[in-house]
Structure 1
Amino acid sequence: MKAVIMAGGEGSRLRPLTCNRPKPMVPIANKPVMEHIIELLKKYGIRDIAVTLQYMPEKIKDYFDDGSEYGVNLRYFTEDVPLGTAGSVKNAEEFLDETFIVISGDALTDINLEEVLDFHKKNSSIATLVLKKVECPIEYGVVVTDSGGKVRRFLEKPSWGEVFSDTVNTGIYVLSPEVLKYFEKGVVFDFSKDLFPILLEKQEPMFGFVTKDYWCDIGDLDAYVGVHTDILDKKVNININAMEVRQGVWVSEGAVISRQAEIKPPVLIGKNSVIKDGSVLGRFTVIGEECHIGEGSTTKKSIMWDGCVLKNNVQLRGSVLCSRVKCREKTSAFEGTVIGENCILGENSLIKPGIKIWPEKHIDIGTEVCTNLVWGSRYSKNLFGSRGISGEINVDITPEFASRLAAAYGAVCKKGASLAVSCDEADALKMIKNACISGVLSSGAEAFDVGTSLLPVTRSAIRYYKLTGGMHISGGNKKGKVIIDILDELGRNISRSAERKIENCYIREDFARCEADEIKAVTNVTDHNVFYIRSIINNTIAKNYDLKIALIAPSGAFKNIVTSILNELGCRYELVNTRDNHNKRKSLFSELKTLSQVVRYGGFDIGVFFANSYDKIFLVDTKGRIIADDLYMALISYIHLRSKDGNKVIVPLNASSVIEKMAGENKERVLRTKTSTKELMSRMLNNEYDKDMLDFFAMNFDPIEAFIRIIDYMVFSNISLADIVDLIPDFHIIKKEVKCSWSEKGKVIRTIIEENSDSVETIEGVKVVGDKGWVLVLPDAEKPVCKVIGEGLTQEFAHELTDIFVDKVKSISQNRGT
């Protein structure tokens, strides 16, 4: 006995499931539906199988090959143009030299083929149609048989007025080879519409076998979800590649499930998937292979294909996720949603019920998706964010991505460019660094491998070796997060115009790779730390640093550099242990609280916490006060203004107005600029910058040098940190965020400007200035929110002023008629 699997289906009604694969390759219970059909045929001893192909034939050939891995022999017959069900089988006529079974490769069934074959032989039938009673027959071919099973009448996809039976054609046939002689090869011919009416007219023995076994035509998305429900409810007898570890819970090989995860059967968990603490897998959840379910994430009646990642606190309700979908923290997708392959759902995004998203889409943070997304590629606005390029390791930031990005950067640089490449101390970051070096070399640029170093060290190396620019890869504040800083010739993060050039080059791949003989050897910068440390020490002016310092430096590289400098300056220091009894890091709040108590009661002159290699440091004075954010900006501005006559400071719009007060009569020494890091760096280190402004740049963007400059000023001026902070006038700043859709941001700013035209500044956003304070309304560049920042003479007035404009933003953005 031979068989024909009809596997040419495109599956247009299943899109976006079938955007990148033919319908027979859509997974059912973690294997292609066609694989279930092959297993069914093999179960009844049918191993010689013809497969008719038309849509994406190579996908099926590549997966099943010759069938030997599945214990069968497969022969493929490909149509150049669709020939109909019978026309496609006609292509395999030479192979079909005996009675054969025709079965669809995109329906699921556990039909007893032995009973069908016995019925066919018993009735000496030329064609036996397998029939099934269904509740809604209008989507199928309706068939009427007599009491002996002989076909008397049928109608393909009738209207309700034409329905004369609830027995429908399943598309499974047992045929004698002679039926293929009723039509010519290469013509469009269908079994139900063309061949069977001919056989009926000629009164050939054609019978219908009504099966009570399971059969489901996976014709649309509802049927696709429903067939999984039936499998988990054990309504169909198929082979699941998993062990039923308890009633209704199937777990495949290599899966890792936390004891703190909650599993509500029935559930299927695929190979090597990881289910983390606090996650909840609700009823009728199907998880593919190599999936990762983060802490606090919950699913119910949802299907995930292979390689899906749910970060923490994701909600899935009645959703289908195709392969390699990444859901960031706190994303939600609801009933009837389908997310295509390789989509990324940004943090806090919401997919409304019934929405379909086609493959390769990137949904922005906080976005509500209310309409189907079909066209376009990315739904994020830029490759670059507020600081460099960030993403998940091996999710957004892969070696392939990093190499292509570095090649794009090298390509936009002038010929003969030289670029530094470095990373923080972590194996995953070294992998990305090496990929960046390969990309730089492929563009024809020279790569300087600074190795594992800190971002400030790399900035210094670029200036020292007079390089064209550089790239530094660091770990973000969250586990698995990666940030790539792209730097210019002065060690600054590149400008927005330079980012656009790289983005355009990257997206279009509009750059040439160099010839093989133009690839340069990598220049290894063995240890720039030595020069970096020496340059900081050489810039100090004080003597006899009799200071006792409490120090928190989680990074080993930070600790080594800082302690080397403090040792040479003659400072006494103690490393503060902030780990709990289980040797885990505490929260930032707990660490700062611990540091504050240690400094206040331990006889220290100052405490310092280096959170990472790029954020401003946290300082603690002898009164236990934590100096950070706005107060830190005021502190370094005070020190720089008093370190040398004529020194200027460049501060963002949202910095406190007390900085002008500290400048006294020479208010022109305070220059205001936009709030972005790039803008601050660009203004501080322009082409005519001097050493004093480089010092202020370091106090803003180099935590180590900033700390040394602060204690150097303390010792040289014989003043404590607490006394400096006391000299800074009191100020009160309140910061809030208000939800505001992208489309409403422009209207919000325009309306506020119109209402306050006599007292506004529009350097960035809109800043409304009054006698008792100011408020800045600033549209966020990466999220659908507006920031509202207010400063007042008192804490109460600052709150009141900020709340007024929070309400104003809400009112304007929600009044769509304006």
Structure 2
Amino acid sequence: MKAVIMAGGEGTRLRPLTCSRPKPMVPVANKPVMEHIIELLKKHNLTEIAVTLQYMPDIIKEYFNDGKELGVDMRYYVENTPLGTAGSVKNAEDFLDDTFIVISGDALTDIDLSEVIDFHNKKGSMATLVLKKVDIPLEYGVVVTDDDGRIVRFLEKPSWGEVFSDTANTGIYVLSPEVLSYFKKNEMFDFSKDLFPILLKENKPMYGFIADGYWCDIGDLAAYRQANFDVLDGKVKVNISGKQISKGIWVDEGAEIDETATIEAPCIIGKNSKIKKNVHIGSYSVIGESNIVEDRAGLKRSIIWKNCILESNAQLRGSILCNKVHFRENTSAYENAVIGDDTTVRENAVIKPNIKVWPNKLIDESVEVNSNLVWGSKFTRTIFGNRGVAGEINVDITPEYASKLGAAYGAVFKGKAKVGISCDRSNSANMLKISFISGLLSSGLEVYDLGNLLLPMTRSAVRFYKFDGGIHISTSSEDMARLFVDFLDKNGSNIDRGLERKIENVFIREDFSRCEGDLIKRVEVIPDYSKYYLHSIINNVKSQKMNFRVALFSNSDFITNTMSTLLKELGCEVGIIRQKLINTRTIKQSTLAADVRYFSNYIKTRKFDLGVSIEDNSEKMMLVDNKGRIVTEDMFIALVSLILLKMMNGGMVVVPVSASQVVEKIAEQHNGKVLRAKTSLQDLMAKMLCSEVKEGMLEQFTMHFDAMAGLVRILDFMASNDCKLSDLVEMIPDFHINRKEVECPWNAKGKVIRQIMQEAGKDRVETLEGVKIHQDRGWVLVLPDAERPVCKVISESYSAEFAEELSDLYVNKVREISRS
């Protein structure tokens, strides 16, 4: 059998390690990771090897040549443009005349490939995927197999809501050559995204082999460190160069160690390296070839590549040094610092934890480096949460951070776009708007300052002016130190997760593209868009006059005054409630029950037609009808669906997967359809607006995500149809939904969803997001949270008691599985 090593990886998340080399050439235990893969293939008698290349191909060719020195026969196939995983293998089609194995050249593994091949042959499989159970599967494809090992479902790089298994695709495949006939040469084609879905749809024999061996996808710097440490701990079976002079200490030929030096296991000292007097080499250190560690220098849990010099009393703690790095006397680098090739650190300089230094840098003497020596920020965690970016002002989100995040957003447009930016009236939001503008301008974008707006106004402005994107910055009246940043696409929707990932990747790898000074554009200021926005709402009203009495509450004086003026202009009588009450229709736990009762009693006793509470950014509202009944979040979705279906005389409404099934009943009564979306803001918005804005779907978007315009639409419908809000509420059939949360560690979420799916038996299961189980008495949805170590459990049944019973049953299941 022949093998294909995919070695085209650029390794952007590993920078600065990969600034000067392709990802497969990054050394683990002093050998390129791809060399470990070749040794594994040879061990299983797979000696005829095709290698697919793209990024810096000559480095790999020059190092391995024809493979004879390693006892294999290697041929190279270079992509001029990226072709995807399957497209790159297609280049070697003439070489692959029989069943073959595909393996990544940038992962570390000791999986028993002979066992995988035997499994493939016994099953008569067309494609066998090697699978591995992992705790957190977000960066991999997740796969579900039946009892016989046959693949029944998979999804590439899921969000937490889409995680239906903890069984990940390792990217190791055994394939029949006929799979290459499913696509053309030089066509962009991927195994996971394109080929395997076709085979699954055509019911071709496709199996998953769950491997017991070690496997590590070296995707980022943390994984790279861990791979080296796992070699030292013996968790992965690879060949370590050199002799083991005592347990856990490997020394390669030509290395010199002074007798006064102290060496702690486990560690590796590479060929021709020199360890001088009174040096201390701590445990979990990997020293490569031809390095010099001089008197009284020391290192712990650090990795040094080739030709580095640590002068007297230089100290490394948890750091990585690439090739030809020179640390002068009394210098130091701390946890997670990474120093690129050909860098010199002069006397008494200190490199602080988590700092990255790109290649060819000079750090002057006595300097303390506390920010990365290249364009970006030092933060490497996920930037985006459930909705945009959130954090403490001047703690999580500083002016420097905002500028760099703006530059990262600008980088995804490649310097050619028009972007609108706005903020609320707080001083902190205005300060950070200036920082964001600086970052956007530095990437070459045209920037339009929309001034102080509410978020729905900014969404409207992005569409009106045909911007390519937008940013809105706002604070919370509940906590003025907390800031929220919404990134918008050309439709005014929040950007999707794919674009969020791109921004995160640019931000994390510090790879901002700065334009030349003479290409920086002037900021265009657009004043008073709010006036146009309000006039457009008034112009869209169909009824002649609205004589409603409306009770209005908001924490924001800006919203209160704007909404009051708008309603009065439309003929409404407005009563403003000044007491601090409630700011969302979700009735959050922090709200006092007495405040809620006061709000509803106020509307009922003062004979208002309805009450509305609008949250800070004017996106969400909570309604109370003329009988004092609170329209909860689930009821609001049903109410909006009812109004839209009546207005459109059918059509389609978009609701989240967690919404009541009463929406389907309403749609059936009005010859309409229901499209279920994920619960995330981005997915709901994307389903409503799609790639282009259509009038009917824009109505939905407005009613769900614009409290001002949405309220006017509801009042307009009531006036046109001569009905009260209570009449509309009473048209909605009774339903009972129960919502709970249960603690669930991050590393147990995949296992929880997989086991719940497996235990579902004859019940109907949906996996649009989380896992939704339909039973005779109702349904229950188990949904992993994207930001916290919890799962949400949502159920619906024909009574409140049964809904709560269903929730409790699955809360206990989640707790039991996650603790097992």
TM-score by length of 2: 0.52
Q: Deviations over 1:67-89 (max 9, x none)?
A: xxxxxxxxxxxxxxxxxxxxxxx
**Aligned pair 1:612/2:613, yes or no?**
no
Q: Equivalents in 2 of 1:411, 1:458: separation in Å?
A: 22
TM-aligned CA distance change 1:801 to 1:522, over 3 Å: same
Q: Equivalents in 2 of 1:639, 1:627: separation in Å?
A: 14
Mapping for residues 343-492 of structure 1, pairs under 5 Å: 359=353, 382-476=382-476, 477-492=478-493
2:704 corresponds to: 700
Q: Aligned letter for 2:564?
A: T
Supply the RMSD in Å over aligned alpha carbons. Answer: 2.6
**Aligned pair 1:739/2:768, yes or no?**
no
**SS of corresponding position for 1:542:** coil
Q: Deviations over 1:111-154 (max 9, x none)?
A: xxxxxxxxxxxxxxxxxxxxxxxxxxxxxxxxxxxxxxxxxxxx
**Aligned pair 1:802/2:807, yes or no?**
yes
Q: Equivalents in 2 of 1:666, 1:724: separation in Å?
A: 14
Q: Equivalents in 2 of 1:342, 1:700: separation in Å?
A: 44
Mapping for residues 106-505 of structure 1, pairs under 5 Å: 359=353, 382-476=382-476, 477-505=478-506
Report deviation, 1:479: 3.2
Q: Aligned letter for 1:732?
A: H
Which structure 2 segments of 5+ residues have no match? 1-275, 280-333, 338-351, 356-376, 582-589
Which structure 1 segments of 5+ residues have no match? 1-186, 191-339, 344-357, 362-376, 581-585
Q: Aligned letter for 1:456?
A: P
Q: Equivalents in 1 of 2:724, 2:738: separation in Å?
A: 28
**Aligned pair 1:625/2:626, yes or no?**
no
TM-aligned CA distance change 1:341 to 1:479, over 3 Å: farther
Contact preservation (8 Å) 1:733, 1:795: yes
Q: Equivalents in 2 of 1:655, 1:448: separation in Å?
A: 38
1:318 corresponds to: none
2:212 corresponds to: none
Report deviation, 1:635: 1.0
**SS of corresponding position for 1:470:** strand
Q: Aligned letter for 2:404?
A: R
Q: Deviations over 1:411-435 (max 9, x none)?
A: 1114431111111110011101111
**Aligned pair 1:642/2:646, yes or no?**
yes
* Runs of 4+ more than 6 Å apart: 187-190, 340-343, 377-380
Q: Deviations over 1:335-361 (max 9, x none)?
A: xxxxx9999xxxxxxxxxxxxxx9559
TM-aligned CA distance change 1:618 to 1:791, over 3 Å: same
- The structure whose Rg is larger is 1
Contact preservation (8 Å) 2:611, 2:625: yes
Q: Deviations over 1:747-774 (max 9, x none)?
A: 1111111111441011111100022210
Q: Equivalents in 2 of 1:771, 1:379: separation in Å?
A: 49
Report deviation, 1:607: 0.7
**SS of corresponding position for 1:669:** strand
2:776 corresponds to: 771
2:573 corresponds to: 572
Q: Equivalents in 2 of 1:492, 1:459: separation in Å?
A: 7
Report deviation, 1:666: 6.3
**Aligned pair 1:509/2:514, yes or no?**
no
Report how many residues are paired. 447
**SS of corresponding position for 2:679:** coil
Q: Equivalents in 2 of 1:787, 1:698: separation in Å?
A: 27
Report deviation, 1:554: 2.2
Q: Aligned letter for 1:404?
A: K
TM-aligned CA distance change 1:342 to 1:719, over 3 Å: farther
- Percent sequence identity is 47
Mapping for residues 39-58 of structure 1, pairs under 5 Å: none
Contact preservation (8 Å) 2:771, 2:781: yes
2:548 corresponds to: 547
Q: Equivalents in 1 of 2:618, 2:554: separation in Å?
A: 13
Q: Aligned letter for 1:524?
A: V
TM-aligned CA distance change 1:512 to 1:602, over 3 Å: same
Q: Deviations over 1:11-67 (max 9, x none)?
A: xxxxxxxxxxxxxxxxxxxxxxxxxxxxxxxxxxxxxxxxxxxxxxxxxxxxxxxxx
Q: Equivalents in 1 of 2:457, 2:567: separation in Å?
A: 17
Contact preservation (8 Å) 1:458, 1:491: yes
TM-aligned CA distance change 1:600 to 1:380, over 3 Å: farther
Report deviation, 1:587: 4.5
Report deviation, 1:380: 7.9
Q: Equivalents in 1 of 2:671, 2:812: separation in Å?
A: 33
Contact preservation (8 Å) 1:551, 1:576: yes
Q: Equivalents in 2 of 1:765, 1:378: separation in Å?
A: 33
Contact preservation (8 Å) 2:491, 2:692: no
Q: Aligned letter for 1:406?
A: G
Q: Aligned letter for 1:625?
A: R
Contact preservation (8 Å) 2:645, 2:670: no
Contact preservation (8 Å) 1:453, 1:557: no
TM-aligned CA distance change 1:615 to 1:745, over 3 Å: same
Report deviation, 1:590: 4.7
Q: Deviations over 1:152-192 (max 9, x none)?
A: xxxxxxxxxxxxxxxxxxxxxxxxxxxxxxxxxxx9999xx
Q: Equivalents in 1 of 2:278, 2:714: separation in Å?
A: 86
TM-aligned CA distance change 1:764 to 1:555, over 3 Å: same
1:785 corresponds to: 790
Q: Equivalents in 2 of 1:530, 1:773: separation in Å?
A: 47
**SS of corresponding position for 2:668:** coil
Q: Equivalents in 1 of 2:781, 2:630: separation in Å?
A: 25
Q: Equivalents in 2 of 1:633, 1:501: separation in Å?
A: 32
**Aligned pair 1:724/2:728, yes or no?**
yes
Q: Deviations over 1:206-258 (max 9, x none)?
A: xxxxxxxxxxxxxxxxxxxxxxxxxxxxxxxxxxxxxxxxxxxxxxxxxxxxx
TM-aligned CA distance change 1:707 to 1:770, over 3 Å: same
TM-aligned CA distance change 1:428 to 1:663, over 3 Å: same
Q: Deviations over 1:441-490 (max 9, x none)?
A: 11110111011110000001100110010110011353311010000101
TM-aligned CA distance change 1:188 to 1:420, over 3 Å: same
1:711 corresponds to: 715
Q: Deviations over 1:521-556 (max 9, x none)?
A: 111010101110011111111122111111112212
Q: Deviations over 1:764-808 (max 9, x none)?
A: 111000222100011111111111100000011101111111111
Contact preservation (8 Å) 1:620, 1:626: yes
Q: Equivalents in 2 of 1:429, 1:631: separation in Å?
A: 34
TM-aligned CA distance change 1:629 to 1:359, over 3 Å: farther
**SS of corresponding position for 1:789:** strand
Q: Equivalents in 1 of 2:412, 2:618: separation in Å?
A: 26
Contact preservation (8 Å) 2:770, 2:781: yes
**SS of corresponding position for 1:679:** helix
**SS of corresponding position for 1:663:** helix
Contact preservation (8 Å) 1:463, 1:491: yes
2:686 corresponds to: 682
Q: Equivalents in 2 of 1:189, 1:587: separation in Å?
A: 64
Q: Aligned letter for 2:679?
A: T
Report deviation, 1:665: 5.3
Q: Aligned letter for 2:626?
A: T
Q: Equivalents in 2 of 1:668, 1:723: separation in Å?
A: 21
**SS of corresponding position for 1:607:** strand
Q: Aligned letter for 1:804?
A: L
2:599 corresponds to: 595
Contact preservation (8 Å) 1:734, 1:798: yes
Q: Aligned letter for 1:695?
A: E
Report deviation, 1:738: 1.0
